[in-house]
Structure 1
Amino acid sequence: MTYTRRIRSLFMICIFLFLTINLTGCWDKKNIQDLNYVTAMGVDYENNKYVVYSQSLDFTNVAKQESAKSKEHIPVWTGRGEGDTLDAAVNDLYTAAQLPIIWEHISAVVFHERAMKQNLRRMTDTMLRYHEIRFTPWVYGTRSSIKELFAAPNTFNLSPINSILHQPKEVYMQQSYIQPISLREMFINWLRPGSTLLLPSISLNKDKWFEDLKPKEAYAIDGLFAMEKDQFQGWWDKKDITGLRWASKNVVHTALQIEPHKKTVAMLSLNVPESKITVKLKGPQQIPKVTIQLLIDGSIEEALTDMQPRKMEKLAEQNIRNEILKTFRDGVQKGVDLFSIREEIYRQHVNYWNRHQKGQTIRLRPDMIDHVDVRVKLKNAGMMKLRR
Structure 2
Amino acid sequence: MARNVILMIAACCIMLSGCSGIKNIQDLTYIVSIGMDYDEEKDEYTVFLQGLNFVNVAKQEGGKSADPIPIFVASAKGETLNLAIRELYKLSEPSLYFAHVKNLVISKRILQHKFKDVVEEIGRNRFIRPTLHIVTTDESIEEVFNINALFNYPAVYTVIFKKDIYDVDHNEIRPVPLMKFLREYYEPMNAAKLPSVKINKTSWKAEKDYPVLYFDGYAVFQNKKYIKDLTFEDSLFLNWLMEKYVAIDERVDVEGKLAAAVKLESPKLKFQYEENASSPKFSIVLSIRADLLEKVEDISSDRLTSLIEEKIKTKLQSLYLDGIERKIDYLNAGEKWFRMRPEKFAELKKTGHFYLEENSLTDIQVKVQIFNFNSYKFNE
Query: Displacement, 1:171?
Result: 7.7
**1:354 aligned to 2:349?**
no
Gaps of 5+ in 2: none
Q: Give the secondary-structure state (helix, strand or coil) at the position aligned to 1:291.
A: strand
**Matching residue's letter, 1:45:** Y
* Structure 1 match to 2:94: 99
* Structure 2 match to 1:30: 23
**1:263 aligned to 2:261?**
no
The answer to whether the 8 Å contact 1:204/1:220 transfers is: yes
Q: Give the secondary-structure state (helix, strand or coil) at the position aligned to 2:58.
A: helix
**Larger mean Cα displacement after TM superposition, 54-63 or 201-210:** 54-63
Aligned alpha-carbon RMSD (Å)? 2.6
Cα distance in 1, alignment partners of residues 343 and 165 from structure 2: 41
Cα distance in 1, alignment partners of residues 91 and 332 from structure 2: 44
* Structure 2 match to 1:5: none
Query: Displacement, 1:381?
Result: 2.4
* Structure 2 match to 1:315: 307
Query: Displacement, 1:183?
Result: 1.1
The answer to whether the 8 Å contact 1:282/1:288 transfers is: no
Cα distance in 1, alignment partners of residues 269 and 377 from structure 2: 25
Instruction: Give deviations 1:127-173, integer Å, cap 9, x for gaps.
Output: 34343321111111111111110001210111211121101646874
The answer to whether the 8 Å contact 1:243/1:325 transfers is: no
The answer to whether the 8 Å contact 1:353/1:359 transfers is: no
Instruction: Give deviations 1:325-370, integer Å, cap 9, x for gaps.
Output: 1122123223333223332432344333333445622343233322
Query: Displacement, 1:237?
Result: 2.0
TM-score in terms of structure 1 length? 0.88
Instruction: Give deviations 1:1-30, integer Å, cap 9, x for gaps.
Output: xxxxxxx4x434433433333334421121
Cα distance in 1, alignment partners of residues 117 and 47 from structure 2: 15
* Structure 2 match to 1:328: 320
Cα distance in 1, alignment partners of residues 136 and 378 from structure 2: 42
Cα distance in 1, alignment partners of residues 115 and 323 from structure 2: 21
TM-score in terms of structure 2 length? 0.89
The answer to whether the 8 Å contact 2:239/2:246 transfers is: no
Aligned residues: 377
**Matching residue's letter, 1:139:** I
The answer to whether the 8 Å contact 1:317/1:374 transfers is: yes
Instruction: Give deviations 1:205-252, integer Å, cap 9, x for gaps.
Output: 11222224x221111111111112222212222134464245313143
The aligned runs of 1:1-388 (5 Å cut-off) are 8=1, 10-25=2-17, 26-46=19-39, 47-65=42-60, 67-167=62-162, 169=164, 173-212=168-207, 214-241=208-235, 243-280=237-274, 286-357=278-349, 360-382=352-374
**Larger mean Cα displacement after TM superposition, 361-370 or 67-76:** 361-370
**Larger mean Cα displacement after TM superposition, 63-72 or 325-334:** 63-72
**Matching residue's letter, 2:374:** G
Aligned pair in 2 of structure 1 residues 97, 298: CA closer, same or farther (>3 Å)?
same
Aligned pair in 2 of structure 1 residues 17, 281: CA closer, same or farther (>3 Å)?
closer
Displacement over 6 Å in runs of 4+: 383-388
Q: Give the secondary-structure state (helix, strand or coil) at the position aligned to 2:37.
A: strand
Aligned pair in 2 of structure 1 residues 14, 334: CA closer, same or farther (>3 Å)?
closer
**Matching residue's letter, 1:148:** E
**Larger mean Cα displacement after TM superposition, 348-357 or 303-312:** 348-357
Instruction: Give deviations 1:84-117, integer Å, cap 9, x for gaps.
Output: 1222122223242223211111111111111122
Aligned pair in 2 of structure 1 residues 315, 80: CA closer, same or farther (>3 Å)?
same
**Larger mean Cα displacement after TM superposition, 359-368 or 201-210:** 359-368
Cα distance in 2, alignment partners of residues 123 and 273 from structure 1: 35
Gaps of 5+ in 1: 1-7
The answer to whether the 8 Å contact 2:137/2:197 transfers is: yes
The answer to whether the 8 Å contact 1:70/1:158 transfers is: no
Cα distance in 1, alignment partners of residues 173 and 350 from structure 2: 29
Cα distance in 2, alignment partners of residues 387 and 133 from structure 1: 59
Cα distance in 2, alignment partners of residues 66 and 136 from structure 1: 31
Cα distance in 1, alignment partners of residues 14 and 308 from structure 2: 73
